[in-house]
Amino acid sequence: MVTKAGSPSEDGPSRKSNAEGSKITDETNTTLAAGDGDSDETSGDETAERAALRGGTGGGARKLSRVGKEVQRRTSKMINTINTKFKREYSRGLQMQGIVPAADDMATAANSTSTGFFSPPSFQLTQIIHDSRCFLPRVGHVCVASGGDILIFGGVDHKQTVTNDFLRYVPGLNVFEPIKAQGDIPSARSFCTIVPCVASGTNREQLILFGGCDDGEQLSTTYKYDPPMRTWTAVQTEHKPPARHGHVALVNDGRVYIHGGYDGDRVMDDMWQFAGADWTQVQYRSPKGAAPGTQLAETIAMPARTGHSACMWLHSRHKVPCFYFFGGDVSGTGSATNDLWIFTLSTCRWNQIVDYAGSAPPPRFKHGSCIFDNHWMLVCGGVNHGWFRDSVLGDMYAYDMQANCWFSINVQSVLSPANVELSNLTVIQSTRAIYSFGAREEGTNSSVATCDVFRLSPLVTFVSFSALRLQVEALDEIVKLTTETQSAEKVAKLAQMQNAISKLTEEMTAIREENESLKKRLSEVERLVPR
């Protein structure tokens, strides 16, 4: 007996399978729609892909392919949803803290000192007791981290004598010791710069010292210091920057950059780079021009200044090196500012950040700054010019370089944080502790030196929004690469399988048609047979 086409024994399981496949697909689409409720828009590529999946013939394999791609899409949607929710919660947290107000209140944004989920860490301020016979009271000295230790050079001591003292501080042992160096010992100076730099073609770190002043005489000499050998070497160059003090120095890709300073008569705005053998001046490029109201306002150069701070920041994802500059004295006579600038090395262009969230620190110069966890630029201490005398500042701020937002740092201490000024910030990366040497008391004359040493230790383990976002984006890239790899290897096989299924479907249709024809003939034969 030939089974009738469309009978339960033949089409019943097929219909059930189709219904289940449709149910799976519908549930998947429903789940995706619910999980992506934050966005009602669908990309054109996605719409076209869904239309392609729903059209044509393909049978069960087509449905399986659709479900598989829906699962992949669901994973991608989930990642995007997490990313969106992180961004929303980040902005919402800032708004709750008063950092990011509503659009109509942006001009009156207030700062926050609370410790929200995405705010900077709080710090514990500890004063370190040490033998003051080695590290004497001083100002105008420079500090640099090297090999886990902190090296201190020069400055003006409590007797108003300019020195060339060279000291080593061991954080783990809390010990100061004078360094008995050899070679071309730099002359006494203050307000010079010293930065670590890996020598070209080697992995050996050197310290590069430049400039400074000695009893009113401006200096333009360059020295290299080899920490393992404890040897100074005077560097003779064909070209060199004009003599100055109060400038800043930064390092990127084995090159040392200096900017600004005071030459005894005027403040400066030039930038020079040292590649190991000679100095060359950096030529600023003309601005492209920026529309009013944008975050960045381009100009040919940042206004000249001295006593400012600068940090080098390398974007962890885009790998674009930038220099951040804050504050300084724009006249050489105590005209403090609190503007924030970016210099992009790849374009040699200046941009002023004019549309940040939060409140910037008060104007200051001779302050300290450093990069913390490759996410925050910390600014603290410094001097503000008053009517009768310069006052020392004891506050601390953090600038979130990815969120473009200023925060006020919460400092915990048995001391009153507002009564001390922190300067010459040096970060020990292994412990994430920040050290300050030679702080001055707030409200006193800026020439009064101390030998105070403070340590700032982060109190809380915090989650950086940028770190979370980068992890989400990295996971998204893995999913995309996996999808692309699978597609590259299996698209051809899947197409072949779908073609085979299509041919099989055609053959089954032909068989059903033959069955229908055969049934009709059998029926005719049955009618002719006498009963």
Predicted confidence pLDDT, tens digits, the chain (531 residues) = 443 344 334 344 444 444 444 443 344 333 333 334 444 444 444 444 444 444 444 454 455 556 556 656 665 666 565 555 555 554 544 444 333 333 333 333 334 444 444 567 788 888 888 877 889 888 899 999 998 999 999 999 888 899 999 999 999 888 999 999 999 999 999 999 999 998 767 788 999 999 999 988 999 999 999 999 999 999 999 999 999 999 999 999 999 999 999 999 999 999 999 998 899 999 998 776 544 444 455 567 899 999 999 999 987 666 789 999 999 999 988 899 999 999 999 999 999 998 898 899 999 999 999 999 888 999 998 888 777 677 888 889 999 988 889 999 888 776 655 556 777 889 998 888 999 998 665 545 555 678 889 999 887 544 444 555 566 666 666 666 665 565 556 667 767 777 777 777 777 777 777 777 777 777 777 777 666
- Residue 314 is predicted with a pLDDT of 86
Instruction: Report how far residue 330's alpha carbon sits from residue 261's, in angstroms, rounded to the nearest whole number.
Output: 10
Contact 315, 256 (CB under 8 A): no
- In 3D space, the residue among 281, 236, 233 whose CA is nearest the CA of residue 257 turns out to be 281
110: Cβ–Cβ under 8 A, 6 or more apart, which residues?
98, 101, 358, 359
- Residue 398 is predicted with a pLDDT of 93
Residue 329: half-sphere exposure toward Cβ, Cα within 13 Å:
22
- Residue 519 is predicted with a pLDDT of 74
- Residue 490 is predicted with a pLDDT of 63
- Residue 45 is predicted with a pLDDT of 44
pTM of the complete model: 0.66
Q: Which domains, ranges and CATH numbers included, belong to the chain?
A: 108-467 (2.120.10.80)
Instruction: Report how far residue 205's alpha carbon sits from residue 216's, in angstroms, rounded to the nearest whole number.
Output: 32
pLDDT by residue (tens digit) across 491-505? 677 677 777 777 777
Instruction: Report how far residue 235's alpha carbon sits from residue 226's, in angstroms, rounded to the nearest whole number.
Output: 13
Which residue bears the tokens 């009709």? Answer: 520
